[in-house]
Amino acid sequence: VCVLPSLLSSDCLTANIVKSHRETCQYRVEELQALRWKVFSREEVLAYQSKSVEEMWQRCAYRLTDSIQYVVEFAKRIDGFLELSQNDQIVLLKGGSLEVVLVRMCRSFNPDNGTVFFEGKYGGTEVFKSLGCNDLIASIFEFSQSLCALHLSEQEVALFTAVVLLNPERAWLQDKEKVARLHSHVDVAFKNTLQRSHRDTVLSKLSQKTLQLKSLCSLHIDRLRSFLELRPLLAHSLFPPLYHELFT
Ligand SMILES: CNC(=O)[C@@H]1CCCN1C(=O)c1ccc(Cl)c(COc2cccc3c(C(F)(F)F)cc(C)nc23)c1Cl
């Protein structure tokens, strides 16, 4: 709720979204950057590469699921999200939570050596080799690398992830107009913030990123679905939210 009537309503929404992001981003970006020196040793990488497909998937699914829970909490704290119908809240989270996880991942990516923070240290794509889907991992790293190049501030990450989440074009929305109104408020808040900090150029680049995000998630979810359908044992280990995310 905004107590300072003098502030523009979009400033209130910006403050609410930045606060919600800060409270639900799992790791502060300062912490993640302070840990960049902690890189997996040759032996640790070999240990990951000798793990079974099942175990590696379980480890990733656990982390992804954990991250998705934080994204759910982020959404619930955005003014207006809980005023949407239960159905529409679920539709937006089902369609957008992995996209938000992917955007947030750029904060734990080190573009200087192409490593990402995973299970306490930084590692390259070779850490995930035993997953058996190197092109999926490669595209996740490429996306993080390209998003890092935009040097998004925490405020910009917060607003961009809110825009990604409140997408009125998601299929099966009941009250599309209501979502579109909320989306446009966030969009205005995002544009105001970018203009004030003379970052307008980022806007056009981010809209391309949103398209990449969509194709990355949808393309790989399908590949992932077929990959996992060959391994029924694995599929159930993708904890309920991720399973729900991928297969329903
Ligand atoms: C601090 N960092 C963390 O906790 C991050 C945030 C969420 C995951 N997590 C990791 O530790 C992490 C970091 C980098 C990578 Cl590459 C991975 C492995 O990521 C994935 C492996 C398998 C499938 C993934 C899929 C698929 F296909 F299911 F949609 C989609 C995403 C986006 N990531 C996948 C993981 Cl699990």
Residues β-bridged to residue 121: 118
Q: How far is the CA of 246 from the centre of ligand 1 (A)?
A: 14
Burial class of residue 89 (count of CB atoms within 10 Å of its CB; 0-12, 13-18, 19+) = middle
- Phi first, then psi: give them for residue 39, nearest 5 degrees: -110, 140
Q: What average pLDDT is seen over the chain?
A: 89
CA distance 242 to 248: 10
Which tens digits make up the pLDDT trace of 25-34?
999 999 999 9
Amino acid at residue number 55? E
CA distance 121 to 117: 5
Q: What is the mean pLDDT of residues 82-110?
A: 94
> Residue 77: pLDDT above 60?
yes
- DSSP element (H, E) containing 123: strand 121-123
> Residue 177: pLDDT above 60?
yes
pTM of the model: 0.91
Sheet holding 121-123, edge to edge: 109-110, 115-118, 121-123
Query: Beta-carbon neighbour count of residue 221 at 10 Å?
Result: 14
User: What SS3 state is found at 138?
Assistant: helix
DSSP string, 37-93: T-B--HHHHHHHHTS-HHHHHHHHHHHHHHHHHHHHHHHHTSTTGGGS-HHHHHHHH
Which tens digits make up the pLDDT trace of 198-225?
998 898 898 888 888 888 877 777 766 7
Among 57, 140, 243, residue to substitute to test ligand 1 (most atoms within 8 Å of Cβ)? 140
- Phi first, then psi: give them for residue 207, nearest 5 degrees: -70, -35
Q: How far is the CA of 60 from the centre of ligand 1 (A)?
A: 6
Which tens digits make up the pLDDT trace of 120-141?
999 999 999 998 889 889 999 9
> Residue 239: pLDDT above 70?
no
Task: Determine how β-strand 121-123 pairs with β-strand 109-110.
Answer: unpaired
Q: How far is the CA of 59 from the centre of ligand 1 (A)?
A: 9
Q: How far is the CA of 218 from the centre of ligand 1 (A)?
A: 15
- DSSP element (H, E) containing 110: strand 109-110
Give residue ranges with CB within 6 A of ligand 1: 27, 60, 63-64, 67, 98, 101-102, 105, 108, 116-118, 128, 131, 136-137, 140, 220-221, 224
